[in-house]
Structure 1
Amino acid sequence: MHTDLVAALDIGGTKIAGALIDGRGGILARAQRPTPAKEDGETVMGAVSGVLGELRKASDWDAVRAVGIGSAGPVDASEGTVSPVNVAAWRGFPLVARVREATGDLPVTLVGDGVAIAAAEHWQGAARGHDNALCMVVSTGVGGGLVIGGQVHPGPTGNSGHIGHISVDLDGDLCPCGGRGCVERIASGPNIARRALADGWEPGTDGDATAAGVAAAARAGDRIARASFDRAAQALAASIAATATLVEIDIAVIGGGVAKAGDLLFTPLRAALKEYATLSFVQGLEVVPAQMGTDAGLVGAAAGALRHFGGTGA
């Protein structure tokens, strides 16, 4: 029997994942359900309860001391509520109270998914050993979290570091968030593909019109496809440099589906960063790929719960 375990939930628009995790970040049990994102709020909560129900059947459940949740946002940790953009029925949904009720009144810690991923990368991944870091996810959206002074910095509501909605183009497109010229509107996967298509790129014979299709075309020498990735890299570089100038991070970690494009993204990003991060105290800024993969949200949610009762964590 293990002691001082935590249960972790990673809640997104596609899936709800759960795990039992020990103080070293080891995963001892897993459960997962699809997110019924188009259904009513209670149906979505039913999927969460199903994941927790599976975890409670694990032989180690009696050692669980707390629950950590990393959720698509926005979240409000001060109120214990979530309003994920891609789960329409959850607006101000009292997730913390409902999970506490479903787990026999265990303490529950809530953070946004970007903050959870930052916690995971700082504890176990590419930001390990760095006291000041930005960790980003560039995928369907663009999110992030900050490590400042050796500690994950979730902010009052659990959303601090949400870099996708920094404006990097004052005259840019309107973003669904209500802002204009946001990083997400330029650098997310769907927006990389949208820009390439608008500029005249045509998908190959496989018909793949996603960012992965754009990446494949760019590698094959398509000029328009490469320009769309270059523009995304420039937007990311501008936002990373702004963050570094503001809070003196020394490393930026980038994960998510778009980061899988590898050098196609990282080479122009690093080149653009030299143009934006010019002050002496940010010139040494590193940009590296994330290491934690698909378990990052779970491990980061666990890190928050472990901190709650004095376990290891990040």
Structure 2
Amino acid sequence: MTTDLVAAVDIGGTKVAGALVDGTGDLLHRVQGPTRARESAENVLRAVTDVVTQLTEHELWHRVVAVGIGSAGPVDARNGTVSPVNIPAWREFPLVEGVRKTTGALPINLVGDGAAIAAGEHWTGAARGRSNALCMVVSTGVGGGLIVDGRLRPGPTGNAGHIGHISVDFNGDLCPCGGRGCVERIASGTNIARYALAAGWRPAEPDGDVTAAGVAAAAAAGDPIALAAYDRSARALAAGIAATATLVEIETVVVGGGVSQAGEVLFGPLRRALGEFATLPFVRNLEVAPAQLGTDAGLVGAAAACWSDPDTFLIRGEAGN
């Protein structure tokens, strides 16, 4: 890491965040705006460029050597395009080209948001010092990224580790991605709430919280339907984690995102379910840990992925000659 800065951008279904990040992972300047995910493709891009423009106007911008973007996916890092499941207007959308109009000649590194979070947690968070880890975000969607042999492995297109769209029920509900029984379709916050409401759960107050957070509070108080909703989510996560661990021999699983804020309401049944699904000797003792970077994980990770990209280092080296 150096004393230069990376401009990091984190694009999700509800917000776009941006930051100037130094070589230790500190956010020196942070901005945020709404994604406007249900609007036109051009309006969503404008939401992103508005955030990037605010970064370019900061007094430290002259120190920026690269731009790291972590976006809801799928992404295609080779072509600089994105097709987020939760941003309907963006299908093979030329995101890198659109951002480059604001950032100029700086190199841009694009990865999926799950890969970004993995890079961040491995750099300064719960996976620091771990050689083989799956880092996940469980929120309105479910994403993930892989650390293998001590390095982020985003894959050719930047989507490796996208655990949310592993099918754990081949006869299950149709997922917006086009598959059936995906982890995300069962385990995300949206689907925890959907399942609980369909099963008859209602908050104690007429105008109470009907999101996954409200279900978590009810589960903590012992509500049987709410507990069942979180147990169902945990089992889907465990099945996906066990499948991933079997393929790539991860040792640590880091779970972040809004749903992880439920604490033991989620982690308790998740650890129990892993005992059922992860039974082979080389996956039997998976460590499960909560993420440490909170809502800034995507920004720290977009910067970390940028620092670790060989092409970015090459360009930075040439610029310094």
Q: Aligning the two structures, in what range does the TM-score lie when normalised by the shorter sequence? A: over 0.9
Which blocks of at least 5 consecutive residues in structure 2 are unaligned?
A: 315-321
Secondary structure of the residue aligned to 2:306 is helix
Which blocks of at least 5 consecutive residues in structure 1 are unaligned?
A: none
**Alpha-carbon distance between aligned partners in 2 of 1:133 and 1:126, rounded to the nearest angstrom:** 10
Once the two structures are overlaid, the 10-residue window that deviates more, 67-76 or 34-43, is 34-43
Deviations 1:209-240 (A, max 9, x none): 21112111112221111111111111111111
Taking structure 2 as the reference length, the TM-score comes to: 0.93
Is residue 2:250 matched to residue 1:244? no
Once the two structures are overlaid, the 10-residue window that deviates more, 88-97 or 233-242, is 88-97
**Alpha-carbon distance between aligned partners in 2 of 1:219 and 1:54, rounded to the nearest angstrom:** 41
Q: Which residue of 1 aligns with 2:281?
A: 280
Q: How does 1:66-145 map to 2 (within 5 A)?
A: 66-145=66-145
Cα offset for 1:86?
Answer: 2.3
Q: Which residue of 1 aligns with 2:194?
A: 194
Q: How does 1:6-45 map to 2 (within 5 A)?
A: 6-45=6-45
**Alpha-carbon distance between aligned partners in 2 of 1:67 and 1:249, rounded to the nearest angstrom:** 29
Secondary structure of the residue aligned to 1:193 is helix
**Alpha-carbon distance between aligned partners in 2 of 1:219 and 1:44, rounded to the nearest angstrom:** 37
2:68–2:306 CA contact under 8 A, matched in 1: yes
Secondary structure of the residue aligned to 2:313 is coil
**Alpha-carbon distance between aligned partners in 1 of 2:100 and 2:4, rounded to the nearest angstrom:** 17
**Alpha-carbon distance between aligned partners in 2 of 1:278 and 1:109, rounded to the nearest angstrom:** 38
Once the two structures are overlaid, the 10-residue window that deviates more, 190-199 or 150-159, is 190-199
Cα offset for 1:307?
Answer: 2.2
Q: 1:195 to 1:39 in 2, by over 3 A?
A: closer
**Alpha-carbon distance between aligned partners in 2 of 1:175 and 1:14, rounded to the nearest angstrom:** 19
Cα offset for 1:264?
Answer: 0.8
Secondary structure of the residue aligned to 1:29 is strand
Shift >3 Å, 4+ stretches: 308-311
Q: Which residue of 2 aligns with 1:176?
A: 176
Q: Which residue of 2 aligns with 1:65?
A: 65
Residues paired across the two proteins, number: 310
2:85–2:176 CA contact under 8 A, matched in 1: no
**Alpha-carbon distance between aligned partners in 2 of 1:47 and 1:219, rounded to the nearest angstrom:** 37
Q: Which residue of 1 aligns with 2:217?
A: 216
Secondary structure of the residue aligned to 2:39 is coil
Q: Which residue of 1 aligns with 2:226?
A: 225
Which one-letter code corresponds to 2:214 in the other structure?
Answer: G
Is residue 2:297 matched to residue 1:296? yes
Q: 1:46 to 1:200 in 2, by over 3 A?
A: closer
Which one-letter code corresponds to 1:220 in the other structure?
Answer: A
Which one-letter code corresponds to 2:176 in the other structure?
Answer: P
**Alpha-carbon distance between aligned partners in 2 of 1:88 and 1:171, rounded to the nearest angstrom:** 25
2:85–2:177 CA contact under 8 A, matched in 1: no
Cα offset for 1:50?
Answer: 1.8
Cα offset for 1:200?
Answer: 2.2
Once the two structures are overlaid, the 10-residue window that deviates more, 229-238 or 203-212, is 203-212
CA RMSD, 1 decimal: 1.5
**Alpha-carbon distance between aligned partners in 1 of 2:13 and 2:198, rounded to the nearest angstrom:** 27
